[in-house]
Amino acid sequence: MKDKVVLITGGSSGIGKALSEVFGKAGARIAITGRNQEKLDEQADRLAKMGIECLSIQADSADEQDNYRTVSETINKYGQIDILIANAGISMRAMFEDLDMKVFEKVMNINLYGPVYLTKAALPYLKRSKGSIIGISSFNGFKGTPARTAYTASKFALGGFLEALRIELFNSDVHVMTVYPGFTESNIRNTALTASGDQQGKSPYEEGKMMSSEEVASRIFKATKKKKRELYMGFETKMGKFLNKFFPKLTDRMVYNHMKKEEGSPVK
């Protein structure tokens, strides 16, 4: 990874923050994006103290022009992009019948169109560097769950986009990988949107019992070096994938019952 340039969206917290550190410690030069400039500056300072070169870019991942500007600023700073990690994302928690469609649209814009715009802008440079495109999906990228319709739709679509792109690039040297983490300790459930679009403000789970962002980042780093096509993490994710393939109706019931038991669940 020495002197490789790694661009990470949502790089000031959670998995993105951990990714910036694990790739940076391996010798990569880092560019991180996010909407909160204060948090970006804090992470850039943290990386600098580790001896890691970092460019922080305030940007809205759902905005097409911001994505093109992100790539432009990264190229102006480093002259290349070797690894693109589309990590920024948002969740939601509401029954579809109750959901304001503006919330559905917002989730799709951030989780799907953000990575699409960014990949479109960065692809010429990634082809030049024979680099990697990495998209962070979810359990919901292969299995739908109630009260997560918009989130599930966005993650299924992201996986489909990356799979089609990987095949388009079959005769190139560009590596494309989709990552399916299990339950990971992060802020995504605190900031998940309710039916009206407000943040729910707390997680229905004990975050400390989940896989750490650092562990997820470490596994992504190793899989990137091995140029894997897909990466599934966590017992629930791997077992869910297996059960959904061979026992889909049973898996539907298991998922329904699990989501119904969540604290404050809208699933009845």
Q: Which residues are catalytic?
A: 151
Strand order, beta sheet including 54-58: 54-58, 29-34, 5-8, 83-86, 132-136, 175-180, 230-232
Sign of the C-alpha dihedral, residues 135, 136, 140, 146? Answer: negative
Give the closest residue to 220 by CA, choosing from 258, 257, 175, 154: 175
- Could you tell me where the beta strands, DSSP code E, fall in 110-253? 132-136, 175-180, 230-232
User: What φ, ψ does residue 224 adopt, rounded to 5°?
Assistant: -65, -45
Asked if residue 55 lies in contact with residue 12, where contact means CB atoms within 8 angstroms, the answer is no
Question: How far is 189 from 202, CA to CA, in rounded Å?
Answer: 7
Q: Which residues contact 131 (CB under 8 A, 6 or more apart)?
A: 81, 82, 83, 84, 125, 174, 175
